[in-house]
Amino acid sequence: MNRPLRSIATSIMLAFPAAVTVALLPATVLAQPAVPQVNSLDADADAGMAPGSRLSFRLTGTPRLQASVRIRGVRDSIVLRETAPGVYVGRYTLKRTDRVDAGSPVRAMLRQGNRSTASEYALGQLVAAPVAAVPQPAARPVDAFRIERFGMIPVERIEPGAELQFALDGMPGANVSVDLPGVERDVRLRETRPGHYEGSYTVRRADDIAAHRPVVATLRMGERVATAQMNIAVGRAAAEGRPTGTDNQAPNLVRLVPAEGASVPAGGQPVLISAAFDDGRGTGVDPASVRVTVSGRNLTQEAQISAGVLSLRTPLPPGRHTVEVVARDVAGNAVRKSWSFDVAAAAPASVPLRVLNFRNNDQVGAGQTTVQGSTQPNATVNVRVTAVAPAGINISQELLAHTVQADARGNFSFSFTPQFPLPGARYEINLVSIRGDLRDDERLTLVQR
Protein backbone atom coordinates (compact mmCIF):
# COMPACT_ATOMS: atom_id res chain seq x y z
CA MET A 1 0.00 0.00 0.00
CA ASN A 2 1.29 3.43 -0.93
CA ARG A 3 0.99 5.84 1.90
CA PRO A 4 -0.96 9.07 1.21
CA LEU A 5 1.08 12.22 0.78
CA ARG A 6 1.96 13.82 4.09
CA SER A 7 1.22 17.34 5.18
CA ILE A 8 3.93 20.01 5.38
CA ALA A 9 4.02 19.99 9.19
CA THR A 10 4.61 16.21 9.25
CA SER A 11 7.25 16.45 6.51
CA ILE A 12 9.18 19.24 8.26
CA MET A 13 9.15 17.91 11.83
CA LEU A 14 9.31 14.14 11.33
CA ALA A 15 11.70 14.06 8.40
CA PHE A 16 14.69 15.29 10.39
CA PRO A 17 16.97 13.09 12.49
CA ALA A 18 17.22 14.25 16.12
CA ALA A 19 20.64 15.79 15.48
CA VAL A 20 19.38 18.07 12.70
CA THR A 21 18.32 21.59 13.65
CA VAL A 22 15.09 23.11 12.38
CA ALA A 23 15.86 26.09 10.16
CA LEU A 24 13.99 28.95 11.79
CA LEU A 25 14.70 32.51 10.76
CA PRO A 26 15.64 35.04 13.47
CA ALA A 27 12.65 36.83 14.93
CA THR A 28 13.75 40.14 13.47
CA VAL A 29 13.65 38.85 9.88
CA LEU A 30 10.35 38.80 8.00
CA ALA A 31 9.60 36.43 5.09
CA GLN A 32 10.49 38.03 1.73
CA PRO A 33 8.13 37.04 -1.12
CA ALA A 34 10.94 37.54 -3.66
CA VAL A 35 13.00 34.70 -2.19
CA PRO A 36 12.17 31.21 -3.55
CA GLN A 37 10.58 29.01 -0.91
CA VAL A 38 10.13 25.22 -0.61
CA ASN A 39 6.86 24.59 1.20
CA SER A 40 6.80 20.78 1.28
CA LEU A 41 8.25 17.63 -0.26
CA ASP A 42 6.32 14.37 -0.42
CA ALA A 43 7.53 11.04 -1.77
CA ASP A 44 6.27 7.55 -2.47
CA ALA A 45 7.89 4.27 -3.50
CA ASP A 46 6.40 1.15 -5.08
CA ALA A 47 9.01 -1.20 -3.54
CA GLY A 48 10.57 0.60 -0.56
CA MET A 49 14.26 1.42 -1.00
CA ALA A 50 15.28 -1.74 -2.85
CA PRO A 51 16.95 -1.58 -6.31
CA GLY A 52 14.30 -1.26 -8.99
CA SER A 53 11.90 0.65 -6.74
CA ARG A 54 10.42 3.72 -8.40
CA LEU A 55 10.47 6.86 -6.26
CA SER A 56 7.86 9.54 -7.00
CA PHE A 57 8.36 13.09 -5.70
CA ARG A 58 5.96 16.00 -5.33
CA LEU A 59 7.35 19.40 -4.28
CA THR A 60 5.31 22.53 -3.54
CA GLY A 61 6.77 26.01 -3.35
CA THR A 62 7.29 29.23 -5.30
CA PRO A 63 5.92 28.82 -8.86
CA ARG A 64 7.74 29.17 -12.21
CA LEU A 65 11.20 28.10 -10.98
CA GLN A 66 13.66 25.28 -11.67
CA ALA A 67 13.10 22.41 -9.22
CA SER A 68 15.25 19.39 -8.43
CA VAL A 69 15.85 16.75 -5.76
CA ARG A 70 19.22 15.38 -4.69
CA ILE A 71 19.60 12.15 -2.66
CA ARG A 72 22.87 11.29 -0.96
CA GLY A 73 23.99 7.97 -2.44
CA VAL A 74 22.44 8.72 -5.85
CA ARG A 75 24.89 10.17 -8.37
CA ASP A 76 22.54 12.33 -10.46
CA SER A 77 20.08 15.05 -9.48
CA ILE A 78 16.39 14.33 -10.10
CA VAL A 79 14.80 17.11 -12.15
CA LEU A 80 11.18 17.95 -11.32
CA ARG A 81 8.72 19.53 -13.75
CA GLU A 82 5.99 22.01 -12.86
CA THR A 83 2.53 20.49 -13.49
CA ALA A 84 0.55 23.27 -11.80
CA PRO A 85 1.55 26.67 -10.36
CA GLY A 86 3.98 25.89 -7.56
CA VAL A 87 3.61 22.08 -7.88
CA TYR A 88 6.61 20.09 -9.21
CA VAL A 89 6.74 16.32 -9.79
CA GLY A 90 9.36 13.82 -10.88
CA ARG A 91 10.35 10.15 -10.72
CA TYR A 92 13.49 8.10 -10.25
CA THR A 93 14.14 4.35 -10.30
CA LEU A 94 16.76 3.15 -7.81
CA LYS A 95 19.77 1.39 -9.36
CA ARG A 96 21.89 -1.38 -7.89
CA THR A 97 24.80 1.08 -7.73
CA ASP A 98 22.81 3.53 -5.58
CA ARG A 99 23.62 3.51 -1.87
CA VAL A 100 20.55 4.72 0.00
CA ASP A 101 18.83 3.85 3.24
CA ALA A 102 16.23 5.34 5.59
CA GLY A 103 18.71 7.93 6.90
CA SER A 104 19.88 9.18 3.48
CA PRO A 105 19.44 13.00 3.33
CA VAL A 106 17.17 14.32 0.57
CA ARG A 107 17.76 17.91 -0.57
CA ALA A 108 14.89 19.71 -2.37
CA MET A 109 15.95 22.81 -4.33
CA LEU A 110 14.22 25.69 -6.12
CA ARG A 111 16.31 28.02 -8.27
CA GLN A 112 15.79 31.16 -10.35
CA GLY A 113 18.91 32.78 -11.73
CA ASN A 114 21.28 33.42 -8.83
CA ARG A 115 18.51 33.03 -6.26
CA SER A 116 17.90 29.62 -4.74
CA THR A 117 16.58 27.88 -1.67
CA ALA A 118 16.80 24.33 -0.35
CA SER A 119 15.20 22.17 2.33
CA GLU A 120 16.51 18.85 3.63
CA TYR A 121 14.61 15.74 4.63
CA ALA A 122 15.34 12.10 5.47
CA LEU A 123 14.42 9.53 2.81
CA GLY A 124 12.99 7.09 5.32
CA GLN A 125 10.50 9.69 6.56
CA LEU A 126 9.37 10.64 3.04
CA VAL A 127 8.87 7.12 1.73
CA ALA A 128 5.76 5.41 3.08
CA ALA A 129 6.37 2.99 5.95
CA PRO A 130 5.00 -0.55 5.72
CA VAL A 131 1.73 -1.25 7.49
CA ALA A 132 2.16 -2.78 10.95
CA ALA A 133 -0.10 -5.75 10.33
CA VAL A 134 -1.11 -8.79 12.27
CA PRO A 135 0.54 -12.05 11.09
CA GLN A 136 -1.06 -13.49 7.95
CA PRO A 137 -2.79 -16.86 8.28
CA ALA A 138 -2.16 -19.79 5.99
CA ALA A 139 -3.51 -19.73 2.44
CA ARG A 140 -7.30 -20.02 2.19
CA PRO A 141 -9.72 -21.06 -0.51
CA VAL A 142 -10.67 -18.19 -2.77
CA ASP A 143 -14.29 -18.22 -1.63
CA ALA A 144 -13.58 -18.33 2.15
CA PHE A 145 -15.22 -15.40 3.98
CA ARG A 146 -12.63 -14.03 6.41
CA ILE A 147 -10.28 -11.12 7.06
CA GLU A 148 -6.82 -12.05 5.85
CA ARG A 149 -4.99 -8.99 7.16
CA PHE A 150 -5.80 -5.91 9.23
CA GLY A 151 -3.19 -3.30 10.16
CA MET A 152 -2.40 0.36 10.73
CA ILE A 153 0.42 2.66 9.58
CA PRO A 154 2.58 3.28 12.70
CA VAL A 155 2.16 6.70 14.35
CA GLU A 156 4.31 8.23 17.06
CA ARG A 157 1.53 9.72 19.20
CA ILE A 158 -2.25 9.44 19.39
CA GLU A 159 -3.10 13.15 19.72
CA PRO A 160 -5.50 15.69 18.14
CA GLY A 161 -4.60 16.12 14.47
CA ALA A 162 -2.86 12.71 14.14
CA GLU A 163 -4.00 10.71 11.10
CA LEU A 164 -4.68 7.00 11.69
CA GLN A 165 -4.47 5.04 8.43
CA PHE A 166 -5.91 1.51 8.19
CA ALA A 167 -5.68 -1.28 5.60
CA LEU A 168 -7.57 -4.57 5.37
CA ASP A 169 -7.49 -7.55 2.99
CA GLY A 170 -10.48 -9.86 2.69
CA MET A 171 -13.45 -10.86 0.53
CA PRO A 172 -13.98 -8.45 -2.43
CA GLY A 173 -17.20 -6.47 -2.72
CA ALA A 174 -17.92 -6.27 1.02
CA ASN A 175 -18.65 -3.37 3.40
CA VAL A 176 -15.77 -2.70 5.82
CA SER A 177 -15.74 -0.50 8.93
CA VAL A 178 -13.35 0.07 11.85
CA ASP A 179 -14.51 0.66 15.43
CA LEU A 180 -12.08 2.97 17.28
CA PRO A 181 -12.50 2.96 21.10
CA GLY A 182 -13.40 6.47 22.22
CA VAL A 183 -14.68 7.58 18.77
CA GLU A 184 -18.44 7.91 18.31
CA ARG A 185 -18.72 6.78 14.67
CA ASP A 186 -17.09 3.90 12.83
CA VAL A 187 -14.42 4.60 10.21
CA ARG A 188 -15.46 3.37 6.76
CA LEU A 189 -12.84 1.73 4.52
CA ARG A 190 -13.20 1.81 0.74
CA GLU A 191 -12.16 -0.92 -1.68
CA THR A 192 -9.19 0.41 -3.65
CA ARG A 193 -8.66 -2.86 -5.52
CA PRO A 194 -10.45 -6.22 -5.34
CA GLY A 195 -10.30 -7.43 -1.75
CA HIS A 196 -8.12 -4.56 -0.48
CA TYR A 197 -9.69 -1.81 1.64
CA GLU A 198 -8.18 1.45 2.92
CA GLY A 199 -9.35 4.35 5.09
CA SER A 200 -8.15 6.94 7.56
CA TYR A 201 -9.34 8.94 10.56
CA THR A 202 -8.00 12.25 11.94
CA VAL A 203 -8.09 12.39 15.74
CA ARG A 204 -10.24 15.23 17.13
CA ARG A 205 -9.86 17.05 20.43
CA ALA A 206 -13.19 15.64 21.62
CA ASP A 207 -12.03 12.03 21.12
CA ASP A 208 -10.88 9.91 24.06
CA ILE A 209 -9.04 7.11 22.28
CA ALA A 210 -7.81 4.44 24.69
CA ALA A 211 -4.64 3.04 23.13
CA HIS A 212 -4.76 -0.09 25.33
CA ARG A 213 -8.22 -1.13 24.07
CA PRO A 214 -8.58 -3.13 20.82
CA VAL A 215 -9.51 -1.59 17.47
CA VAL A 216 -12.06 -3.85 15.75
CA ALA A 217 -12.50 -4.19 11.97
CA THR A 218 -15.76 -5.64 10.59
CA LEU A 219 -16.14 -7.18 7.11
CA ARG A 220 -19.81 -7.54 6.18
CA MET A 221 -21.55 -9.00 3.12
CA GLY A 222 -25.26 -9.61 3.50
CA GLU A 223 -25.74 -11.82 6.55
CA ARG A 224 -22.10 -12.89 6.68
CA VAL A 225 -19.79 -11.03 9.08
CA ALA A 226 -16.09 -11.41 9.87
CA THR A 227 -14.09 -9.41 12.42
CA ALA A 228 -10.43 -8.83 13.32
CA GLN A 229 -8.82 -6.69 15.98
CA MET A 230 -5.51 -5.07 16.83
CA ASN A 231 -4.12 -2.81 19.56
CA ILE A 232 -3.00 0.73 18.67
CA ALA A 233 -0.06 0.12 20.99
CA VAL A 234 1.25 -2.37 18.41
CA GLY A 235 1.41 0.32 15.74
CA ARG A 236 3.02 2.85 18.09
CA ALA A 237 5.62 0.36 19.35
CA ALA A 238 6.53 -0.54 15.77
CA ALA A 239 7.02 3.16 14.94
CA GLU A 240 9.47 3.49 17.83
CA GLY A 241 11.36 0.26 17.12
CA ARG A 242 10.10 -1.56 20.21
CA PRO A 243 8.87 -5.17 20.33
CA THR A 244 5.13 -5.56 19.78
CA GLY A 245 4.58 -8.48 22.16
CA THR A 246 2.59 -8.44 25.39
CA ASP A 247 3.49 -5.58 27.77
CA ASN A 248 2.47 -6.38 31.34
CA GLN A 249 5.13 -4.37 33.19
CA ALA A 250 4.29 -0.95 34.67
CA PRO A 251 6.65 1.96 33.85
CA ASN A 252 8.78 3.66 36.49
CA LEU A 253 9.87 7.24 37.28
CA VAL A 254 13.62 7.94 37.50
CA ARG A 255 15.97 10.95 37.68
CA LEU A 256 13.71 12.83 40.10
CA VAL A 257 14.30 16.61 40.48
CA PRO A 258 14.45 17.76 43.23
CA ALA A 259 15.71 14.48 44.64
CA GLU A 260 13.90 12.74 47.48
CA GLY A 261 14.60 14.65 50.73
CA ALA A 262 16.56 17.44 48.99
CA SER A 263 16.52 21.05 50.22
CA VAL A 264 15.92 23.66 47.51
CA PRO A 265 16.88 27.34 47.98
CA ALA A 266 13.84 29.12 46.57
CA GLY A 267 15.46 32.51 46.05
CA GLY A 268 12.07 33.90 45.05
CA GLN A 269 12.13 31.85 41.82
CA PRO A 270 9.87 29.01 40.62
CA VAL A 271 11.11 25.55 41.58
CA LEU A 272 11.96 23.09 38.80
CA ILE A 273 10.25 19.70 39.17
CA SER A 274 11.05 16.97 36.64
CA ALA A 275 11.25 13.19 36.18
CA ALA A 276 11.95 10.70 33.40
CA PHE A 277 9.71 7.75 32.45
CA ASP A 278 11.39 4.35 32.17
CA ASP A 279 9.23 1.67 30.54
CA GLY A 280 12.10 -0.66 29.63
CA ARG A 281 11.20 -2.45 26.40
CA GLY A 282 7.48 -1.89 26.93
CA THR A 283 4.98 0.07 24.86
CA GLY A 284 5.93 3.47 26.32
CA VAL A 285 4.08 5.97 28.50
CA ASP A 286 0.93 7.60 27.13
CA PRO A 287 1.44 11.38 27.72
CA ALA A 288 -2.33 11.93 27.88
CA SER A 289 -2.54 9.66 30.93
CA VAL A 290 -0.01 11.60 33.06
CA ARG A 291 -1.29 13.56 36.09
CA VAL A 292 0.98 15.69 38.31
CA THR A 293 0.04 17.08 41.73
CA VAL A 294 2.27 19.16 44.02
CA SER A 295 1.22 19.43 47.66
CA GLY A 296 -2.34 18.53 46.67
CA ARG A 297 -2.56 20.97 43.70
CA ASN A 298 -3.15 19.51 40.23
CA LEU A 299 -0.47 21.16 38.04
CA THR A 300 -0.79 18.86 35.02
CA GLN A 301 -1.77 21.73 32.70
CA GLU A 302 1.35 23.68 33.66
CA ALA A 303 3.72 20.75 33.01
CA GLN A 304 5.56 19.89 29.81
CA ILE A 305 4.85 16.19 29.25
CA SER A 306 6.11 13.74 26.63
CA ALA A 307 6.45 9.97 26.43
CA GLY A 308 9.91 10.27 27.97
CA VAL A 309 9.92 13.11 30.50
CA LEU A 310 7.81 15.59 32.44
CA SER A 311 8.89 18.95 33.81
CA LEU A 312 7.33 22.07 35.29
CA ARG A 313 8.36 25.23 37.12
CA THR A 314 6.09 26.49 39.86
CA PRO A 315 6.45 28.93 42.76
CA LEU A 316 6.42 27.15 46.13
CA PRO A 317 6.36 28.64 49.63
CA PRO A 318 9.02 27.60 52.15
CA GLY A 319 8.40 24.21 53.76
CA ARG A 320 8.01 20.56 52.77
CA HIS A 321 6.31 19.70 49.48
CA THR A 322 5.21 16.36 48.03
CA VAL A 323 5.01 15.53 44.31
CA GLU A 324 2.74 12.74 43.11
CA VAL A 325 2.76 11.48 39.51
CA VAL A 326 0.20 9.04 38.08
CA ALA A 327 0.65 7.59 34.56
CA ARG A 328 0.10 4.49 32.46
CA ASP A 329 1.75 3.06 29.37
CA VAL A 330 -0.15 2.50 26.13
CA ALA A 331 -0.75 -1.12 27.14
CA GLY A 332 -2.69 0.10 30.21
CA ASN A 333 -0.12 -0.66 32.96
CA ALA A 334 -0.37 2.06 35.64
CA VAL A 335 2.26 3.64 37.90
CA ARG A 336 1.85 5.98 40.89
CA LYS A 337 4.92 7.53 42.50
CA SER A 338 5.41 10.28 45.09
CA TRP A 339 8.43 11.95 46.67
CA SER A 340 9.07 14.93 48.96
CA PHE A 341 11.59 17.77 49.24
CA ASP A 342 12.01 21.00 51.22
CA VAL A 343 11.98 24.61 50.00
CA ALA A 344 14.14 26.99 52.01
CA ALA A 345 13.00 30.50 52.89
CA ALA A 346 13.16 32.71 49.82
CA ALA A 347 15.52 35.67 49.80
CA PRO A 348 13.98 38.96 48.63
CA ALA A 349 14.53 39.74 44.97
CA SER A 350 17.09 42.47 44.39
CA VAL A 351 15.73 43.58 41.02
CA PRO A 352 12.04 42.61 40.78
CA LEU A 353 11.26 41.28 37.29
CA ARG A 354 7.92 40.13 35.91
CA VAL A 355 6.04 39.68 32.61
CA LEU A 356 2.86 41.77 32.39
CA ASN A 357 0.85 40.49 29.43
CA PHE A 358 1.37 36.68 29.53
CA ARG A 359 1.17 33.87 32.04
CA ASN A 360 3.04 30.59 31.84
CA ASN A 361 1.72 28.24 29.11
CA ASP A 362 -0.47 30.95 27.52
CA GLN A 363 -1.18 30.37 23.81
CA VAL A 364 0.02 32.72 21.06
CA GLY A 365 -0.95 33.20 17.43
CA ALA A 366 1.10 32.60 14.30
CA GLY A 367 2.23 36.20 13.80
CA GLN A 368 4.51 38.47 15.77
CA THR A 369 4.38 38.06 19.55
CA THR A 370 5.20 41.04 21.78
CA VAL A 371 6.12 40.48 25.43
CA GLN A 372 5.82 43.34 27.93
CA GLY A 373 7.44 43.37 31.35
CA SER A 374 8.55 45.50 34.26
CA THR A 375 11.66 45.67 36.46
CA GLN A 376 13.75 48.32 38.23
CA PRO A 377 13.93 51.67 36.38
CA ASN A 378 16.74 51.81 33.79
CA ALA A 379 17.77 48.18 34.38
CA THR A 380 19.26 46.13 31.53
CA VAL A 381 17.22 43.05 30.53
CA ASN A 382 18.86 40.17 28.67
CA VAL A 383 16.31 38.28 26.56
CA ARG A 384 16.60 34.80 25.09
CA VAL A 385 13.78 33.04 23.18
CA THR A 386 14.13 29.38 22.14
CA ALA A 387 11.64 27.52 19.91
CA VAL A 388 11.07 23.88 20.90
CA ALA A 389 9.30 21.43 18.57
CA PRO A 390 6.04 19.72 19.71
CA ALA A 391 6.37 17.10 22.46
CA GLY A 392 8.18 13.92 21.50
CA ILE A 393 10.60 15.56 19.01
CA ASN A 394 13.98 16.66 20.41
CA ILE A 395 14.54 19.71 18.19
CA SER A 396 15.04 23.32 19.25
CA GLN A 397 16.24 26.60 17.73
CA GLU A 398 17.23 29.94 19.27
CA LEU A 399 14.89 32.61 17.90
CA LEU A 400 16.13 35.68 19.75
CA ALA A 401 19.13 36.72 21.86
CA HIS A 402 18.81 40.40 22.62
CA THR A 403 19.31 43.08 25.28
CA VAL A 404 16.69 45.75 26.03
CA GLN A 405 16.76 48.73 28.38
CA ALA A 406 13.96 49.41 30.83
CA ASP A 407 12.69 52.99 30.81
CA ALA A 408 12.53 55.40 33.77
CA ARG A 409 9.41 53.59 35.05
CA GLY A 410 10.99 50.13 34.68
CA ASN A 411 8.88 49.10 31.65
CA PHE A 412 10.33 47.15 28.70
CA SER A 413 9.16 45.04 25.74
CA PHE A 414 10.47 42.83 22.93
CA SER A 415 9.02 40.85 20.00
CA PHE A 416 9.70 37.61 18.11
CA THR A 417 8.21 35.90 15.04
CA PRO A 418 8.78 32.19 14.13
CA GLN A 419 9.05 31.25 10.45
CA PHE A 420 7.21 27.96 10.85
CA PRO A 421 4.58 28.33 13.62
CA LEU A 422 3.68 24.68 14.30
CA PRO A 423 0.72 23.90 16.60
CA GLY A 424 2.00 22.69 19.96
CA ALA A 425 5.47 24.24 19.56
CA ARG A 426 6.79 25.90 22.74
CA TYR A 427 8.67 29.19 23.09
CA GLU A 428 10.91 29.12 26.15
CA ILE A 429 11.62 32.71 27.24
CA ASN A 430 14.47 33.46 29.67
CA LEU A 431 14.83 37.00 31.08
CA VAL A 432 17.66 38.35 33.24
CA SER A 433 17.40 41.86 34.72
CA ILE A 434 20.64 43.55 35.80
CA ARG A 435 21.23 46.85 37.55
CA GLY A 436 24.67 47.36 39.00
CA ASP A 437 25.55 44.32 41.13
CA LEU A 438 21.90 43.31 41.51
CA ARG A 439 20.04 40.93 39.23
CA ASP A 440 16.86 38.88 38.90
CA ASP A 441 15.59 36.38 36.31
CA GLU A 442 12.26 35.13 35.01
CA ARG A 443 11.23 32.16 32.86
CA LEU A 444 8.11 31.89 30.75
CA THR A 445 6.74 29.27 28.35
CA LEU A 446 4.31 30.21 25.56
CA VAL A 447 2.56 27.61 23.37
CA GLN A 448 1.77 27.94 19.64
CA ARG A 449 -1.97 27.86 19.06
Q: Is residue 122 part of a domain?
A: yes
Is residue 293 pLDDT above 80, yes or no? yes
Domain enclosing residue 434, as ranges: 354-448
Using pLDDT thresholds of 50, 70 and 90, give the confidence band for residue 8: very low
439 and 333 belong to one structural domain: no
Share of the chain above pLDDT 70, in %: 80
Do 205 and 228 lie in one domain? The reply is yes
Residue 120 and residue 14 in one domain: yes
pLDDT of residue 148 exceeding 50, the answer is yes
Higher-pLDDT residue of 236, 28: 236
Quick check: is 166 in a domain?
yes
Is the residue at 3 inside a domain? no
Q: What is the pLDDT of residues 403-417, one digit of tens each?
A: 999 998 899 999 988
235 lies in the same domain as 272: no
The enclosing domain of 308 has a CATH number of 2.60.40.1220
The identity of residue 262, as a single letter, is A
Give the pLDDT score at 350. 58
Residue 152 lies in a domain: yes
Same domain (yes/no): 213, 286 = no
Band of the pLDDT at 33, cuts 50, 70, 90?
very low
Chain-wide mean pLDDT for the chain?
Answer: 80
Please tell me the predicted confidence (pLDDT) of residue 286: 84
pLDDT tens track for 64-106: 999 999 999 898 899 999 988 889 999 888 887 888 888 889 9
248 falls in which pLDDT band (50, 70, 90)?
low
What would the mean pLDDT of 361-372 be, rounded to a whole number?
Answer: 89
pLDDT value at position 266?
66
- 246 inside domain: no
> 325 and 359 share a domain?
no
- Could you report the per-residue pLDDT of 267-283, keeping only the tens digit for each? 567 899 999 998 876 76
**Which residues, 6+ apart, have CB-to-CB distance to 131 below 8 Å?**
1, 151, 152, 153, 167
Tally of domains in the chain: 4
Each as own residue / partner, the long-range contacts of residues 218-225 (CB below 8 Å, 24 or more positions apart, any chain) are: 218/176, 218/177, 218/178, 218/179, 218/186, 219/145, 219/146, 219/147, 219/168, 219/170, 219/171, 219/174, 219/175, 219/176, 220/174, 220/175, 220/176, 220/177, 221/145, 221/171, 221/173, 221/174, 221/175, 224/145
